[in-house]
């Protein structure tokens, strides 16, 4: 059953700690994306990667880091430098030809206190 | 830079009413356009897309959208909504040659009363 998995579904951390969110896909897609979703603000792009070992900053990359060592995996680290980390995080993947329609994971809700 | 504007934040309709959700984008070049939907408790998923060809595109569950290039619009329509259409709807634009970097609108929450 192809798709995108994100774990965990809910994550709680203390302020000042880094935290890594997992994203795995078995759709054989080259491209992967991380979005942040806040109420009333839609999805904002954090980072994206078109190919293994390469990634680009999105619109709100400050305070976040990523790696793309494997085609299937695109973990996101929320660092202590991110001023407002509490949010819902969505991972997506797509092909790199045609229309780039994206397939989304179930999301991780991160709460930092 | 590309941007997307969705006109309504929250729409409430009764079953069998007609639906039109507005979406305008700003970008001067060639674009791909999408509507995604998030049903309660489910993943965000593609509803329909425009890539090329016929500007009237049909998606799942009886939805359609019309790309009007002169108006930079991609409005979503359904002639008769059902209670099961209750969801959040996002319009997105992806500029050709921009490596898949899509910009999303703020979303419209649709509530359909039975």
Distances (CA, A) of B34 to B20, B39, B74, B102: 15, 16, 8, 9
Chosen for mutation from B4, B44, B93, B108 (greatest number of chain A CBs closer than 10 Å) is B44
On the question of pLDDT at B101 being above 80, the answer is yes
CA gap B98, B49 in Å, rounded: 17
> What is the C-alpha to C-alpha distance for residues A46 and A66, in angstroms, rounded to an integer?
9
Per the listing, tokens 């619109």 go with: A59
Superfamily covering domain B3-113: Immunoglobulins (2.60.40.10)
Q: Is the pLDDT of residue B38 over 80?
A: yes
Asked whether the beta carbons of residue B49 and residue A33 sit closer than 8 angstroms, the reply is: no
Q: Where are the domains of chain B?
A: 3-113
Test the A interface: residue of B100, B101, B105 with most A CBs within 10 Å: B100
Residues of B in contact with A1 (CB under 8 A): none
- CB atoms A42 and B105 under 8 Å: yes
- Binning pLDDT at 50, 70 and 90, where does residue A39 land? confident
Residue A75 has a CB neighbour count (10 Å cut-off) of: 17
Average pLDDT over chain A, rounded to an integer: 93
* Contact indicator for A4, A25 with CB cutoff of 8 Å: yes
Q: In which band, very low, low, confident or very high, does the pLDDT at B99 lie, cut at 50, 70 and 90?
A: low
């Amino acid at each position: 059953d192809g798709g995108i998995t994100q774990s965990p579904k809910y994550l709680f951390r203390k302020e000042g700690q880094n935290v890594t969110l997992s994203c795995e896909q078995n759709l054989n897609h080259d491209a992967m994306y991380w979005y942040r979703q806040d109420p009333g603000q839609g999805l904002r792009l954090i980072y994206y990667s078109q190919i293994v070992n390469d990634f680009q900053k999105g619109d709100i990359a400050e305070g976040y880091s990523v790696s793309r060592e494997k085609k299937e995996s695109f973990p996101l680290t929320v660092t202590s430098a991110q001023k407002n980390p509490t949010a819902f995080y969505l991972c997506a993947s797509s092909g790199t030809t045609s229309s780039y329609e994206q397939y989304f994971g179930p999301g991780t809700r991160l709460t930092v206190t | 830079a590309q941007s997307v504007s969705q006109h309504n934040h929250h729409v409430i309709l009764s079953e069998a009413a007609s639906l039109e959700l507005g979406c305008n984008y700003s970008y001067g070049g060639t674009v791909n356009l999408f509507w995604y939907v998030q049903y309660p408790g489910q993943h965000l998923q593609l509803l329909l897309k425009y890539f090329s060809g016929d500007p009237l595109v049909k998606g799942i569950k009886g939805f359609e959208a019309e790309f009007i290039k002169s108006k930079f619009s991609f409005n979503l329509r359904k002639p008769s909504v059902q209670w099961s259409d209750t969801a959040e709807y996002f319009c997105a634009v992806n500029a050709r040659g921009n490596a898949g970097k899509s910009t999303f609108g703020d979303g419209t929450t649709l509530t359909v009363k039975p």
